[in-house]
Structure 1
Amino acid sequence: MNYPNFFGSEFLKEVGEISRFTARFFKEVTKPRQEWEEFINQCYWIGYKTLTLVSITAFIMGLVLTIQSRPTLVEFGAASLLPAMVSVSLVREITPVITSLICAGKIGSGIGAELGSMRVTEQIDAMEVSGTNPFKYLVVTRVLASTVMVPVLSSLAIAISLYGGYLGANIRGEVSWSLFWFQAYDSLSYGDFIPAMIKTIFFGFAIGIVGCYKGYTSQKGTEGVGRSATTAVIVASLMVFVIDLIAVQITDLLGLT
């Protein structure tokens, strides 16, 4: 493998192609007619079908974070700060990012494999011949659905992870329901929740765009379908971290951290 070429021209070419694909999305999304029925269908598959996995993961995150953090706080005589520390950590960073990574794995790979299969079996070409706009029907609806549903899933995951934190706090200690939630809410502000939700919108958009791009441009038969699904997960996960890094820098400059 020619590494300089792989990390040079091929990388820049990929960035350019994804940018052009994204520009086409914004062009198509403003054109009538909107495929609302397919959009609702994709919201169901992307949101509802991912809810169980996200819920279980969020609950475990809150439970484990609380259990692991408690001994250190007890050592320094700060056990009373446990609800506040757990809630801020989960709301600001841990839950939105982990939820988005789960969505990148499940949604990104699913979209990449689905559209890749349609591409190699010439179903997309058949839609173009029949007069249907495949980009509008397949890409726009999936990107919009992922953009909408990832923040929704993240909001639910935050609530579930905080409940897991409450149970974790009562495994070794004893914290009343009202005291835990009072301290958790008292430590949070809109500056914690709103930036976290805004960046999940960009997470969802990136996951949808990457998955659709990899699947829509898939080549080389069934081998290409597998490669599309795999690279969609890798690139989408990387985009989540890059967007999170940018979001953290912006919130820090705005004094929201």
Structure 2
Amino acid sequence: MPTIDLNADLGETTGGIAVADDPAMIALVSSANVATGFHAGDPHDIAATVRAAAERGVTVGAHIGYRDPGNFGRTTLDIDPDQLADETLYQIGALDALARAHGTKVSYVKPHGALYNTIVHDKSQARAVVDGVRAFGDLPLMLLPGSVAIDLAEGKGLRVIREAFADRNYTSAGTLVPRSEADAVITDPDAVAARVLQVATTGAVTAVDGTVLRVDAESVCIHGDSPGAVELSRMIVEKLRADGIDIRSFL
């Protein structure tokens, strides 16, 4: 039976103000990218998310980012590579401590927002992230296909999990359409479900200009903070199962 991992960005509740319905999303996905407090999230609410993930057997990943909660980590920062490496290690370690206290652990790392997009092309920052991850251990890194970070990570002996996005449009170059542009996000539920099915069955996505891009993704991200995210995720899960595709963590 074909399989695909579904992941969602969770743990971003700060001071009791929820960004997504974490319990509902955890019931649907197989991997949870849990915030570390740098772009969003606070220790108490992050702990609640990892506890829920542990109870459901959902794989926990560290959703590391720039230390920039004011911009939700969506603005690229000119940061010293040594500082970025240390902050990467710090974020993983903090989340792993909370995870282990609740019966699970950090099993992979996924950069968030602007950091995720920056290390697609910025070798200095990509190397810093890889060094920070490697300092913690041999955790897999979840990255966008085509990122310079992929070669650097594999060169350090790290496993790379190539990722596709269910509700984001792609340029013909294989990068995500910037959120500043009107067509960055796919809002039609049928189109989102079709995208996930395309990735799961063919390993490809179709860019905004019709170009078919080979991504060979092992995981597909569903954004839990999008309007109607829970209902959309249920639709995706139902469609995948109806087509004989098993939702399972990549580990």
TM-score (normalizing by structure 1): 0.27
TM-score (normalizing by structure 2): 0.27
Larger radius of gyration between Structure 1 and Structure 2: 1
Select the structure that is richer in strand.
2
